[in-house]
């Protein structure tokens, strides 16, 4: 009797652990800007599209390249290269617009190229470096995977107007 | 419609909705008497109705619902179990409530139904009396409801006087009292019923008359009268009968022929229509393209028909949906009679308000937006405009001042006009005050027209009142007026004459979502300007623009118009060579005017305003965006902001800047620094040219047609030194390509070499006209081609290996 009970309890524990494992993994989409690899949570991405024409908007910082029409909605387009202080680069075959959403805020981001969908354990994600922490940073954390380091970005922060 | 009636309507619509839900809930409650959520919901209905009815002075209804509330409150606190007997009483009370509401709907008063029996039973329930007693007395009142439907004024009087006692009365006393009342009532009822029968026939015949009377009543000026009270309790039965006869005809149709729709649904519908309008615009554009390409084909006519039908239906649909969002402006006007009455008391002035055109309809969102500005304007007129009776009499005016509030349609706009016959605006005084407060400079004051001076009252911080009163004089109000009206794309026009009065016109677009716009081009960009603010467009040549103190101006008939280039406001990069002519869009906003210089006028289009979203909101000069027929986004100009920005913009774009027109030339250090583009639709021809030029070692870029070539140029990845252009090409031929290229400042001096099999003289002429520097006819020798290219790109021979 007690053996059986023990077994059941064991089983339950095992299941709990499994569940924890599922919760422990973060799914991200990785992309490259300049030489660095970045990632954002997969659920914050509305869609990824190839570049198409946009309209310039005056009186805004340079990294806000303009607005574009996504199926009837007018959405701002932000060049992450410029935002991160890199110089401008011509769009090429690998350039993509990533449309991210956080609540009602939506914006398209120009990235150099996509890498892959990443599953990463929460335990492998470290905090943002001290020099770039606090409320001002758009870095959520740093993910470690075998041989590389991925900077995980705060979508909320990226979608926040800062001018 | 007067204010009270309006509130009453809302109350009735809401109450009936609540009760409908209530019936379902009560039935459910019987099966699940412990459901707290359900009980709470029922309690809230009773509570809501009680609150509203007490506000509207429906004492009987309030009384009833108050006791219902008691019972339900106990039930939801678990102090009372809902037994079937108690449920019966509750249901009965709800039936009574319904009967009362119906009576109110028909007569605007809640008299005529006796609720005391039910109330006492409710009391018993809440005090926890035995259910037997409750049960015993239930059947009787059910009859009562039917019997007592006819209204009875006298009884209500008795009812009212007795009301406060009910709470203190013992249950038995109460029963006795009720019994007495009932007997008294029933005797009188008989009489009344007979009387009523005759009324009914009268009512039927009155119905048509009532409708007819109703309409003119709205159009005629409404003189300030206190809000109508609910049908009085007086015994003046004749007049109340008349009112009763007239009101059902009007109100019943109102209640039954409207559906309340959530504004969100309407907004959604409006959004969908917006999408449809965009699709329509796109369809029209495609139709134009197809027409051009397949000119003369028979299917075109059919396509044209379909497109025009779709276009017409879309426009009609849009108007129809817009109308569903329309509210009569009377909704806003209604609060003013009362306000004027109070104000005239407070200010010791005699003021009369006349309202015209309150049936004029406006979009709901605008109606909500204009309430405040109107309050400010009217308060202002009362306080500063209308003089006190003594002064008016001295000036030979009637002691009573008049404020006229008018609303009417004018084209695509609604005009709201506020006229007063007060002292008028004193231009000199306005200027002096503004100077004192440092709102304007001396020079500005001197150059100011009267209209501009009137507009000073809208400056923040401006007030002409010597003392700050309760009513106005804080210098905030009129500023709010301006901001709010501009928010809905409206403009304000003031006219005033000293001693005669002031007239203010608010011109407001019918709707906010879809507007007519003028599309203009500047360089390669397009902007949409709301047509409502465009007064006219003028084509001017460069030498008509004068510069005065660093600002551009032009002469427009009698006036001097200050100019600003749209490119300067929106920081447009100047890549195209400006042509000799430009267009001036004359923008008008109230009294002020501004000439906006644009490169081209594209045309008029119906556009759907889209917000730029949270991220980009509040950009100076941009009111929003719209999606065009080709799927691109065009920004909408914020005329108000532009007017303001124009003051700080330095004129630069108008000055011809030929200096930077020269192509950027880089130091060439090797042969491959030279870049030549080959444009030809034939792969073979391109290869022949490539082979001929390869020995030079220059970089070669190929394009298959004019469009592709232009695309490569625009991208600016290369610095081209020359182009070899075929004439016969699909999509864009060599001539058009040359013309397009020459528009760009940057490529003005780029040598274009035509390579073609066309040998006719006229072909050569066209080549020269379009800006080709050389004309090579096929076939040609490789050496010849090489030498022509070498000559045109200033190839340095030392690079030759």
Q: Which of A20-34, A77-91, B37-51, B179-193 has the lowest mean pLDDT?
A: B179-193
Stronger pLDDT, B218 or A97, i.e. the higher one: A97
Q: Which of A51-65, B339-353, B449-463, B659-673 has the lowest mean pLDDT?
A: B659-673
Q: How far apart are CA B590 and CA B639, in angstroms?
A: 11
The predicted complex's ipTM stands at 0.79
pLDDT of residue B339: 79
Is A53 in CB contact (< 8 Å) with chain B?
yes
Tell me, letter by letter, the H, E, C secondary structure of B360-399: CEEEHHHHHHHHHHHHHHHHHHHHHHCCCHHHHHHCCCCC
* Minimal CA separation from B614 to chain A, in Å: 7
3-state secondary structure (DSSP) of residue B466: coil
Q: Which residues contact B280 (CB under 8 A, 6 or more apart)?
A: B310, B311, B314
Report whether CATH 3.60.15.10 matches the domain A25-158.
Answer: no
pLDDT of residue B126: 73
- For the domain made up of B263-325, the CATH class stated in words is mainly alpha
Closest CA to B389 of B353, B347, B350: B350
Q: Which residues contact B420 (CB under 8 A, 6 or more apart)?
A: B381, B385, B386, B401, B402, B403, B404, B501, B502, B503
pLDDT of residue B211: 42
Q: What is the pLDDT of residues B425-477, one digit of tens each?
A: 888 888 888 888 777 888 877 877 787 788 888 877 776 555 555 555 445 56
Report whether CATH 1.20.120.160 matches the domain B3-217+239-255.
Answer: yes
Q: Tell me, rounded to whole angstroms, the distance of Cα B168 from its chain centroid.
A: 56
pLDDT of residue A78: 92
The structural domains of chain A, with segments of one domain joined by +, span 25-158
Q: Which of B337-351, B526-540, B669-683 has the highest mean pLDDT?
A: B526-540
pLDDT of residue B471: 52
Q: What is the pLDDT of residues B567-579, one digit of tens each?
A: 888 888 776 666 6
As a whole-number percent, the residues of chain B with pLDDT over 70 amount to 77
Q: How far apart are CA B740 and CA B575, in angstroms?
A: 12
Stronger pLDDT, B633 or A131, i.e. the higher one: B633
Closest residue to A59, CB basis, from B613, B619, B717? B619
Cis peptide before B711 (omega within 30 of 0): no
Residues of A in contact with B613 (CB under 8 A): 74-76, 105-107
Write out the H or E segment, with its range, that includes residue B303. Answer: helix B299-324
- The mean pLDDT of B629-640, rounded to a whole number, is 84
Closest CA to B98 of B106, B183, B261: B106
Write out the H or E segment, with its range, that includes residue B252. Answer: helix B237-256
Mark yes or no for CB contact A90/B570 under 8 Å: no
* Minimal CA separation from A157 to chain B, in Å: 12
pLDDT of residue B444: 78
For the domain B661-799, what is the CATH superfamily, name and number?
Answer: Response regulator (3.40.50.2300)
User: pLDDT-based confidence at B164, cuts 50/70/90?
Assistant: very low
Joined tokens for residue B415: 């005009």
pLDDT of residue B134: 42
C-alpha distances (whole Å) from B283 to each of A111, B295, B301, B311, B606 are 33, 17, 15, 9, 13
Q: How far apart are CA B150 and CA B683, in angstroms?
A: 97
The structural domains of chain B, with segments of one domain joined by +, span 3-217+239-255, 263-325, 328-509, 515-656, 661-799
Q: How far apart are CA A76 and CA A106, in angstroms?
A: 8
- The mean pLDDT of B70-92, rounded to a whole number, is 76
Residue B280 contacts residue B627 (beta carbons within 8 Å): no
Mark yes or no for CB contact B614/A59 under 8 Å: no
Q: Which of B143-147, B250-254, B598-602, B633-637 has the lowest mean pLDDT?
A: B143-147
Given a cut of 90, is residue B341 above it in pLDDT? no
Q: What is the pLDDT of residues B320-330, one digit of tens each?
A: 887 787 888 88
Closest CA to A52 of A33, A70, A74, A29: A70
Given a cut of 90, is residue B194 above it in pLDDT? no
Q: How far apart are CA B787 and CA B750, in angstroms?
A: 17
**At CB < 8 Å, which residues of chain B contact A?**
275, 278, 525, 569-572, 610-616, 619-622, 625, 627, 631-635, 715, 717
C-alpha distances (whole Å) from B530 to each of B191, B294, B609, B622 are 68, 34, 10, 11
Kindly give the confidence (pLDDT) of every residue in chain A, 163 residues in length, as a single tens digit, with 9 standing for 90 and above.
Answer: 567 777 777 777 766 665 556 667 888 999 998 888 899 999 999 889 888 888 998 888 888 999 998 877 889 999 989 888 888 888 888 899 999 988 888 899 999 989 888 888 888 888 877 766 566 677 888 888 778 888 888 888 888 887 7
User: pLDDT-based confidence at B738, cuts 50/70/90?
Assistant: confident
Mark yes or no for CB contact B612/A90 under 8 Å: no
For the domain B515-656, what is the CATH superfamily, name and number?
Answer: CheA-289, Domain 4 (2.40.50.180)
pLDDT of residue B196: 58
Given a cut of 50, is residue B515 above it in pLDDT? yes
User: pLDDT-based confidence at B691, cuts 50/70/90?
Assistant: confident
Residues of A in contact with B622 (CB under 8 A): 57-59
Closest residue to A57, CB basis, from B611, B635, B717? B635
Residue B21 contacts residue B1 (beta carbons within 8 Å): no
- The mean pLDDT of B309-319, rounded to a whole number, is 87
Report whether CATH 3.90.1150.10 matches the domain B328-509.
Answer: no
pLDDT of residue B157: 43
- The mean pLDDT of B375-398, rounded to a whole number, is 84
What is the residue-averaged pLDDT of chain B?
Answer: 74
Mutate which of A52, A67, A77 to test chain B, going by most B C-beta atoms within 10 A?
A67
* Minimal CA separation from B208 to chain A, in Å: 50
Side by side, which strands form the sheet with B534-541?
B534-541, B581-589, B592-598, B559-565, B551-556, B546-548
Joined tokens for residue A124: 């492998």
Half-sphere exposure of residue A105: CA atoms within 13 angstroms, side-chain side: 14
Given a cut of 60, is residue B617 above it in pLDDT? yes
Predicted model pTM: 0.52
Mutate which of A55, A97, A103 to test chain B, going by most B C-beta atoms within 10 A?
A55
Q: How far apart are CA B364 and CA B267, in angstroms?
A: 11
DSSP per-residue letters across B177-241: HHHHHHHHHHHHHHHHHHHHHHHHHHHHHHHHHHHHHHHHHHHSPPPP-PPPPSS-SSS-HHHHH
Q: Which of B105-119, B171-185, B230-244, B515-529 has the highest mean pLDDT?
A: B515-529
Mark yes or no for CB contact A59/B571 under 8 Å: yes
Backbone angles phi, psi at A64, to 5 degrees: -85, 100
CA dihedral B386, B387, B393, B399 (to 10 degrees): 40
Helix axes B782-792, B683-693, angle to 10 degrees: 70
C-alpha distances (whole Å) from B674 to each of B520, B671, B746 are 38, 6, 17
Residues of B acting as catalytic residues? 47, 69, 380
Output helix, strand, coil percentages for chain B, rounded to the nearest 5.
Answer: 55, 20, 25
Stronger pLDDT, B715 or B229, i.e. the higher one: B715
What is the length of chain B? 801
Stronger pLDDT, B45 or B200, i.e. the higher one: B45
What sign does the CA torsion over B13, B16, B22, B23 have?
Answer: negative
Q: How far apart are CA B276 and CA B449, in angstroms?
A: 45
Tell me, letter by letter, the H, E, C secondary structure of A56-112: CCCCCCCCEEEEEEECCEEEEEEEHHHHCCCCCCCCCCCCEEEEEEECCEEEEEEEC
């Amino acid at each position: 009797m007690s053996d059986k009970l023990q077994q059941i309890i064991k089983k339950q524990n095992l299941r709990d652990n499994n569940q924890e494992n599922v919760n422990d993994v973060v799914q991200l989409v990785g992309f490259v800007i300049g030489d660095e690899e970045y990632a954002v949570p997969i659920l914050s991405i509305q869609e990824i599209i190839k570049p198409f024409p946009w309209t310039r908007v005056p009186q805004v910082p340079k990294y806000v390249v303009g607005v574009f029409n996504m199926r009837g909605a007018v959405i701002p387009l932000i060049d992450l290269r410029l935002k991160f202080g890199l110089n401008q680069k011509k769009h090429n075959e690998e350039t993509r617009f990533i449309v991210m959403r956080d609540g009602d805020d939506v914006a398209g981001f120009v990235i150099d190229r996509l890498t892959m969908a990443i599953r990463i354990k929460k335990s492998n994600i470290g905090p943002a470096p001290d020099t770039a922490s606090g409320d001002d940073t758009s870095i959520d954390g740093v993910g470690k995977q075998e041989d590389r380091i991925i900077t995980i970005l705060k979508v909320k922060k990226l979608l926040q107007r800062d001018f | 419609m007067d204010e009270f009636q309006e509130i009453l309507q809302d109350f009735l619509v809401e109450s009936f909705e609540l009760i409908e839900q209530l019936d379902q809930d009560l039935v459910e409650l019987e099966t699940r008497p412990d459901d707290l959520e359900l009980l709470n919901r029922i309690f809230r209905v009773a509570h809501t109705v009680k609150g509203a009815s007490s506000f509207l002075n429906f004492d009987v209804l309030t009384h009833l619902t108050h006791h219902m509330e008691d019972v339900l409150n106990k039930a939801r606190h678990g102090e009372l179990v809902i037994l079937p007997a108690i449920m019966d009483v509750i249901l009965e009370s709800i039936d009574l409530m319904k009967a009362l509401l119906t009576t109110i709907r028909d007569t605007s008063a809640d008299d005529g139904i006796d609720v005391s029996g039910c109330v006492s039973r409710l009391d018993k329930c809440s005090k926890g009396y035995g259910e037997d007693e409750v049960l015993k007395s239930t059947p009787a009142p059910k009859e009562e409801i039917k019997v007592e439907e006819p209204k009875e004024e006298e009884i209500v009087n008795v009812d009212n006087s007795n009301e406060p006692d009910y709470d203190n009365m013992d249950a038995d006393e109460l029963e006795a009292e009720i019994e007495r009342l009932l007997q008294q009532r029933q005797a009188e009822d008989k009489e009344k019923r007979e009387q009523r029968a005759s009324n009914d026939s009268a009512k039927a015949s009155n119905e048509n008359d009532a409708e007819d009377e109703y309409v003119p009543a709205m159009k005629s000026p409404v003189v300030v009268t206190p809000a109508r009270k609910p049908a009085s309790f007086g015994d003046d039965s004749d007049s109340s009968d008349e009112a009763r006869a007239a009101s059902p005809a009007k109100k019943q149709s109102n209640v039954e022929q409207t559906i309340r729709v959530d504004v969100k649904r309407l907004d959604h519908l409006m959004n969908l229509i917006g999408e449809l309008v965009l699709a329509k615009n796109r369809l029209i554009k495609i139709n134009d393209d197809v027409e051009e390409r397949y000119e003369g084909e028979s299917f075109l006519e059919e396509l044209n028909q379909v497109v025009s039908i779709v276009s017409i239906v879309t426009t009609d649909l849009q108007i129809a949906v817009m109308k569903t969002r329309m509210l009569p402006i009377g909704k806003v006007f209604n609060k003013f009679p009362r306000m004027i009455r109070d104000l005239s008391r407070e200010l010791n002035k005699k003021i009369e308000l006349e309202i015209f055109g309150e049936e004029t309809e406006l979009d709901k969102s605008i109606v909500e937006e204009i309430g405040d500005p109107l309050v400010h304007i009217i308060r202002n007129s009362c306080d500063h405009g209308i003089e006190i009776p003594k002064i008016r009499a001295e000036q030979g005016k009637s002691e009573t001042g008049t404020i006229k509030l008018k609303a009417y349609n004018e084209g695509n706009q609604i005009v709201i006009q506020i006229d007063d016959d007060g002292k008028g605006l004193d231009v000199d005084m306005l200027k002096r005050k503004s100077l004192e407060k440092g709102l304007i400079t001396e020079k500005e004051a001197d150059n100011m027209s009267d209209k501009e001076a009137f507009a000073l009252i809208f400056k923040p911080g401006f007030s002409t009142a010597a003392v700050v009163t309760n009513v106005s004089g804080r210098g905030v109000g009129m500023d709010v007026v301006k901001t709010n009206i501009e928010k809905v794309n409206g403009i304000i026009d003031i006219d005033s004459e000293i001693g005669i009065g002031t007239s203010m016109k608010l011109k407001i677009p019918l709707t906010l979502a879809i507007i007519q716009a003028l599309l203009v081009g500047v360089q390669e960009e397009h902007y949409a300007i709301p047509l409502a603010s465009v007064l006219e467009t003028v084509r001017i040549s460069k030498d008509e623009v004068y510069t005065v103190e660093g600002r551009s101006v032009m002469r427009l008939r009698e006036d001097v118009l200050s100019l600003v280039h749209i490119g300067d406001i929106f920081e447009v990069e100047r890549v195209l060579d400006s042509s000799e002519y430009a267009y001036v869009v004359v923008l008008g906003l109230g009294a002020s005017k501004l000439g906006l210089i644009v490169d081209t006028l594209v045309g008029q289009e119906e556009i759907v305003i889209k917000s730029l979203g949270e991220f980009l909101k509040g950009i100076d000069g941009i009111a929003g965006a719209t999606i065009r027929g080709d799927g691109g986004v065009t920004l909408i100009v914020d005329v108000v902001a532009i007017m303001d920005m124009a003051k700080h913009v330095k004129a630069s774009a108008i000055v011809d800047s030929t200096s930077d027109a020269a192509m950027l030339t880089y130091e060439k250090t090797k042969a491959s620094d030279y870049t030549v583009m080959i444009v030809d639709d034939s792969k073979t021809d391109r290869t022949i040219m490539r082979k001929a030029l390869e020995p030079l070692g220059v970089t070669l870029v190929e394009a298959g047609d004019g469009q592709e070539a232009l695309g490569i140029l625009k991208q600016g990845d290369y610095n081209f030194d020359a182009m070899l252009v075929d004439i016969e090409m699909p999509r864009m031929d060599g001539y058009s390509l040359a013309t397009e290229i020459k528009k760009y400042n940057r490529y003005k001096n780029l040598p274009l070499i035509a390579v073609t099999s066309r040998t006719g003289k006229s072909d050569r002429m066209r080549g020269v006209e379009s800006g080709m520097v050389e004309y090579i006819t096929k076939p040609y020798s490789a050496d010849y081609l090489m030498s022509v290219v070498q000559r045109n790109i200033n190839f340095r021979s030392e690079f030759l290996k």
